[in-house]
Amino acid sequence: MTLGVAQYACGDSRESLPGRADANLYSRQGDDPQLCRGEAGTGRGATPEDTAAPVGLRVKDGRVDRLRVGVLRLIPIMSATSESGRSGSQRRGLLPGERLRALNRRTDRQGLLQCLRHAGLIAATAALVHAAAGGWWLVPALLLHGIALTALFAPLHEGSHRTVFHSRWPNRAIAWTTGLALMLPPTWFRHFHLAHHRHTQDHDLDPELIEPKPTTMVQYLWVATGLPFWRSALANLARLAAGRLDGMDYVPARERDTVVREARIVVTLYAVLAAGALAFSAGTAVLLYWLVPMLLGQPFLRLYLLAEHTGCPETADGLTNTRTTLCSAPVRWLMWNMPYHAEHHLYPSVPFHALPALHRDVREHLGVVAPGYPAAHRSIRSQFVRD
């Protein structure tokens, strides 16, 4: 997280993430905002690791006093560098501290309602697949079901940021459930994704750029099939389960055993599902209600994700290295308001339900805004080199 800005905004407690993406210093809601202040230009400031207990922070003599349930802990801070905060410096002054505190407020009610709505959509599309079995409209039904399933990436993303619910354990539960459906072990994905936030569009450090974005039409169409994702996801799952985390510097040493254990649990659960499907002649159900729809829906998720950063300037400017895409209400609802992606990168502590309000507050400052996904992809393709 960016260190050394003049004032940090308070929100819910979050993970310790030294690096580049986030200028917020997080504390639990209701903490005194004066506990969330850093000294301008000193490189002083830090972030607490996520905890369900109330946390307050105060910078003093180059260290941060961490208050947790009345117990004082001292944690060392990390020095800021000239490159710290790939988006932090651009957002200074965009929002008053009180406004950001209001936007940061999380509620279990909003998270629960959105989870129930998304689960209801999946149940409805599954019922459609069941009704269409044997009919000509089975493929369209499978496609709709697949889009609803692959859109579980949105709650996985939010659960990884721990912004679905106010409490910690439901966020972990939603990340586990959705990660299992998408073949993305939750703790590994959390650290992968938070490293992306710290190092957005940095070719050396952003893990999303390990596999380069398409620069030709052939590469673009290949990514859009979703097949590269499946190849990468299966290889990554096998690698994690084997305990091979070399090159994954974004996974903290203290979490490596957890990442390996989770991957092995995921592989075991898939093996149990496969064995059960064979034993009870339920293979067709697994194919119809999970695997085939996921294959059909993945291209839509790939195209959606491509629009977030592809074709944006590869700079540290958080106002221009991420694209916000203006789209219809159903798409925003399905993707948990993540089309407001520049806003999310600027203020990742703001929960999904507050992103429309955040967009209204900062839209005049955003450098890359597309009027829709077709326009976003036209912009992306316009930068391709000839095959």
Residue listed under structure tokens 């929960």:
351
Tell me the per-residue pLDDT of 263-274, one tens digit each, with 9 for 90 and over. Answer: 999 999 999 999
Task: Specify whether 153 is located in the same domain as 54.
Answer: no
Q: What is the pLDDT of residue 134?
A: 87
Query: pTM (2 decimals)?
Result: 0.80
Enclosing domain of residue 59? 1-85
Going by C-alpha positions, the residue among 45, 49, 73, 40 that lies closest to residue 59 is 45
Going by C-alpha positions, the residue among 275, 281, 219, 268 that lies closest to residue 240 is 268
Q: How many domains in the chain? A: 2
Going by C-alpha positions, the residue among 191, 194, 192 that lies closest to residue 345 is 194
- Is residue 228's pLDDT more than 50? yes
Residue listed under structure tokens 């998270």:
111
Task: Specify whether 160 is located in the same domain as 70.
Answer: no
Q: How far is CA 108 from the centre of its chain?
A: 19
Q: What is the pLDDT of residue 81?
A: 28
Q: What is the pLDDT of residue 91?
A: 63
The count of residues in the chain is 387
Q: Which residue has the higher pLDDT, 344 or 79?
A: 344
Whether 95 is covered by a domain: the verdict is no
Residue 56 β-bridge partners: 67
7: phi then psi, degrees, rounded to nearest 5? -145, 140
Task: Specify whether 221 is located in the same domain as 318.
Answer: yes
88 falls in which pLDDT band (50, 70, 90)? low
62 falls in which pLDDT band (50, 70, 90)? very low
| Strand bridging mode 324-325 / 369-370 | parallel
Q: What is the pLDDT of residue 93?
A: 72
Q: What is the pLDDT of residue 3?
A: 29
Burial annotation 342-373 (CB, 10 A radius, 16+ → b, else e) = bbbbbbbbbbbbbbeebbebbeeebbbebeeb
The DSSP call for residue 354 is: G
- Residue 191, CA atoms < 13 Å, CB-side half-sphere: 17
Whether 319 is covered by a domain: the verdict is yes
Q: Would you give the end-to-end CA distance of the chain in angstroms? A: 39
Whether 104 is covered by a domain: the verdict is no
317: phi then psi, degrees, rounded to nearest 5? -80, 110
Q: Are 87 and 23 in contact (CB under 8 A)?
A: yes
Whether 101 is covered by a domain: the verdict is no
Q: Are 142 and 288 in contact (CB under 8 A)?
A: yes
Q: What is the pLDDT of residue 202?
A: 95
Task: Specify whether 354 is located in the same domain as 244.
Answer: yes
Angle between helices 138-150 and 292-309 (to 10 degrees): 50
The pair of structure tokens assigned to 247 is 């090159």
Whether 132 is covered by a domain: the verdict is yes
Give, in order, the Cα–Cα distances in Å from 133 to each of 128, 130, 280, 303.
9, 5, 20, 28
Whether 192 is covered by a domain: the verdict is yes
d(C-alpha 342, C-alpha 376), whole Å? 14
Residue 60 β-bridge partners: 63
Q: How far is CA 104 from the centre of its chain?
A: 16
Whether 387 is covered by a domain: the verdict is no
385 falls in which pLDDT band (50, 70, 90)? confident
Task: Specify whether 49 is located in the same domain as 171.
Answer: no
Tell me the per-residue pLDDT of 278-291, one tens digit each, with 9 for 90 and over. Answer: 999 999 999 999 99
